[in-house]
Structure formats: C-alpha cells, structure tokens
C-alpha cells in the first residue's frame, strides 16, 4: 500500500461555537486533518462576509462530494441539537433525515468531546446508539485521531480477512466403525470374568469379522488397474 493507493477524502465538520477553547480545539483538528491529506470544509475557512451560512450548511450535509460529516459533540451541541436552536439546530434539521437515509451508516461520524457525570457521552437524540470516537481525554487524543483518520481513509486497524477454502479433512470419507472393535473389548472382559462364554463370543467375533471383510472386496476391473499401475511403476524404477 502506497500513498497513491489511498483515495482522497473530503469531510465537513459540524460543531458548536460553545467556547473559544472549544473552537480552537476544532480548528486544530481541522488543521491536522488537512496536514494529513484530508480536504476539510470548515466554516471558518469557507464562509466569507455576505455568504449565507444556512445554505452552506445544507450544501455540506447533502453534497455527494462530502465523504464524511464529522459531528463534534459537546454538552452544548447536544442541547442545541435536541432543542433545534441556532446554527446547530438548523444543521440538525438537515442532518437528521440524512442520517436515517444513509443505509451504510458510515457518512456521519460523531466525535464526542464531553461525557456526563454517569460517564455517558453527550449525544443528540438522532445520534443515540451510534458508535462514536471518544475525544474526551486529551491524553488519548493520538489514539482517537488515528482511529478517525483510518475511518476517513477506509483503512481500519482490524480488517476482515479474506474467506478461504474449507479444510481438506471436511471432504474426507467418514471413518468406518466396526462392531468387531467393541467385541474385542468384550472378549477381554470375558476371559477374566466369564471364561465359559469365550468360545461362543469368539465364534460371533469371527462371523462378524468375515462379514466386515466383504466391505473391502476390490472389483475385478479395479484390481486389474492397480496391477497395471504397479507394473508401470516397477518398469520406471527398474
């Protein structure tokens, strides 16, 4: 695998302007993604004076040119989304039906930045139950970032292996089980405990044994073929 084999990806980042610190964190994430070859559509870079931010949001969410929508969720984002307030609320109205229409469920990726007192991630209702990437712990940022980057480039750490062929032993004939095996064991017991029964049991064993030999009778045509092959082998090595 080389860089040329990686398919270029374009992402849009949806987030809330909760605090200056949070905005800086999102900006740093967008910058890092750009440095790693991902085309990022980010409002602070794309929107200029006179632009309509709502049209921009709708275009980013619905455009087929956007491979992934990264939804950076903190407590405030989840609240605004559920209450349909502000820009986040507007995006939610646009994103929600798209999330449910997206059969593959791979376009919208929640990036969680906050958890509640019970350790549960803050997620808007329309993302409830979705697998997310945890960015709550800054010490684990690199691990989470790698997971995100692998998702964007469709290069998962754990790939499903190629399906192989069934093991050869599954096509082997089922081993033959003969009654004589258990009869021999019974004879061993009778020699010690019931000597008077040995003669009769041995006769039954011989009768069963001879009957089993019939299963190994080789047809005349097959026997001739085996003899011919054997003769040919002897000629080769003689």
| CATH label of the domain that carries residue 67 | 3.40.50.10140
Find, among 111, 40, 109, the residue nearest to 73 by Cα: 111
**Residues 111 and 229 both lie in one domain:** no
Domain that holds residue 62: 3-152
**3 state SS of 168:** helix
Let me know the angle formed at the C-alpha of 52 by 46 and 53, rounded to the nearest 5 degrees: 60
**Residues 140 and 70 both lie in one domain:** yes
CB 114 within 8 A of CB 77: no
Range in 72-76, 127-131, 177-181 the model is least confident about: 177-181
Name the phi and psi angles at 161, rounded to 5: -70, 160
Most confident option among 21-25, 166-170, 209-213: 21-25
Angle between helices 86-101 and 53-62 (to 10 degrees): 20
Asked if the structure places residue 163 within a domain, the reply is no
Asked if the structure places residue 169 within a domain, the reply is no
**Residues 143 and 189 both lie in one domain:** no
Average pLDDT, the chain: 82
**Residues 186 and 143 both lie in one domain:** no
- Strands 133-134 and 39-41, bridge-based pairing: unpaired
**Residues 78 and 182 both lie in one domain:** no
Q: What's the whole-number mean pLDDT along residues 67-75?
A: 92
CB 14 within 8 A of CB 91: yes
CB 10 within 8 A of CB 38: yes
**pLDDT at residue 32, as a whole number:** 97
């Amino acid at each position: 695998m080389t860089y040329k084999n990686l398919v270029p990806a374009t992402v849009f980042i949806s987030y809330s302007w909760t605090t200056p610190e949070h905005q800086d964190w999102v900006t740093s994430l967008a910058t890092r993604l750009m440095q790693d070859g991902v085309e990022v559509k980010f409002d602070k870079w794309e929107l200029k004076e006179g632009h309509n931010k709502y049209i921009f949001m709708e275009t980013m969410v619905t455009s087929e040119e956007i491979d992934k929508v990264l939804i950076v969720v903190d407590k405030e984002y989840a609240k605004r989304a559920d209450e349909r307030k502000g820009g986040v609320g507007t995006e939610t109205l646009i994103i929600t039906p798209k999330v449910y229409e997206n059969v593959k469920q791979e376009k919208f990726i929640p990036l969680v930045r906050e958890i509640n007192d019970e350790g549960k991630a803050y997620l808007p209702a329309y993302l409830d139950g979705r697998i997310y990437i945890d960015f709550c712990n800054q010490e684990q940022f690199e691990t989470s970032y790698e997971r995100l980057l692998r998702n964007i480039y469709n290069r998962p750490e754990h790939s499903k292996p190629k399906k192989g062929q069934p093991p050869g032993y599954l096509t082997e004939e089922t081993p033959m089980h003969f009654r004589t095996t258990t009869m021999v064991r019974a004879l061993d017991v009778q020699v010690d405990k019931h000597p008077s029964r040995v003669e009769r049991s041995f006769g039954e064993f011989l009768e069963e044994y001879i009957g089993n030999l019939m299963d190994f009778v080789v047809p005349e045509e097959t026997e001739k073929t085996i003899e011919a092959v054997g003769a040919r082998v002897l000629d080769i090595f003689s």
